[in-house]
Amino acid sequence: MHGPWRLPARREVWRQPMPHLPRWRQRWIMRTILALFGRDVRAVHGRERLDAAGDPFILVANHSTRLEALVLPVLFAYLREGRLISFLADWNTALIPGIATILRDGESILLVRKPAKPAFLNVFKPLFQRKGPAFERAAGALRRGRSVGIFPEGTTNRHPTRLLRGFDGAARLSLETGRPVLPVGVRFPGQAADRPIRDRTPMEVHFGAPLVPDGPTPEPTRDQVRSWHERVMQEIARLSGKRWEAGATRRKYHGLD
């Protein structure tokens, strides 16, 4: 196992070759995000597992702060010399000025399910509709050789010690396509166990070994999906230093009990 990787100085970030990103705007956006927020990631452990993972794979990670959804996809592409991982993202984030461009250049797959807040913004929802459900588009990306990223908790979970139950879409996608799951745990060293995780809290990223299904199962049973989802979430729990329970809530925790 190699030692932890750390983001180099800003001038090195701007010099890093990105041979897999042909458009200058993509490279500029990526380097700008890392220059502004990359220092929030204090260390990356197990980077060699990302290097060794053969495309396409399904990357999964816990989700504790809003910034992760912006920084982590960019960081992973940077580590892969510009090879993008298409993350699933809530369409509401695309309503934020400037974020739509970042999501588009990052080739994100938008989930268009939740209503907008405030409600009057729902008038823009048809603009983000695409052909087919998001997970069908994710399966299509995998078939084309593009890796996919998913936060299976489905929302930001600021609880310092517990994961949400999560949604089984990543597990189902892995079983149906036969593609491995690359688990990632995001930790927050020094985080108090009795306080919620705040945005801009320094984080560490821990890569686990790929979880490989037996093979493509075009129509997995409910028990197969549930069992594989439990395996995925247990590995995220181990890597993130949190605990996961099959009976945990899917909604955000309102207390720290």
User: Which of 28, 7, 83, 6 has the alpha carbon at shortest distance from 50?
Assistant: 83
Domain count, the chain: 1
H or E element in which residue 238 lies: helix 222-240
- Which residues, 6+ apart, have CB-to-CB distance to 141 below 8 Å? 56, 86, 109, 147, 148
Domain-located, residue 9? no
* pLDDT confidence of residue 179: 97
Domain-located, residue 137? yes
For residues 28-45, average pLDDT = 95
First to last CA, the chain: 36
CATH number of the structural domain spanning residue 73? 3.40.1130.10
Q: What is the span of the domain harbouring residue 161?
A: 14-189+198-240
Whether the per-residue pLDDT at 257 is higher than 60: the answer is no
The CA-atom distances, in angstroms, between 154 and each of 66, 101, 250 are: 12, 22, 8
Domain-located, residue 160? yes
Residue 89 main-chain phi, psi, to 5 deg: -140, 145
Rounded to whole angstroms, the Cα distance separating 8 from 190 reads 23
Domain-located, residue 253? no
Please state the length of the chain: 257
Per the prediction, the chain carries an average pLDDT of 91
Domain-located, residue 212? yes
* pLDDT confidence of residue 256: 61
Whether the per-residue pLDDT at 154 is higher than 70: the answer is yes
Query: Which tokens sit at 197?
Result: 């995780």
DSSP E strands in 29-125: the ranges are 41-45, 58-61, 86-90, 109-111
For residues 81-105, average pLDDT = 81
Domain-located, residue 247? no
Domain-located, residue 3? no
Structure confidence at residue 1 as a pLDDT band (50, 70, 90)? low
At 185-240, the pLDDT tens digits run 999 998 999 999 999 999 999 999 999 999 899 999 999 999 999 999 999 999 99
Tokens 């970030």 identify what position? 13
Domain-located, residue 24? yes
Whether the per-residue pLDDT at 128 is higher than 90: the answer is no
Give the chain's radius of gyration (CA, Å).
18
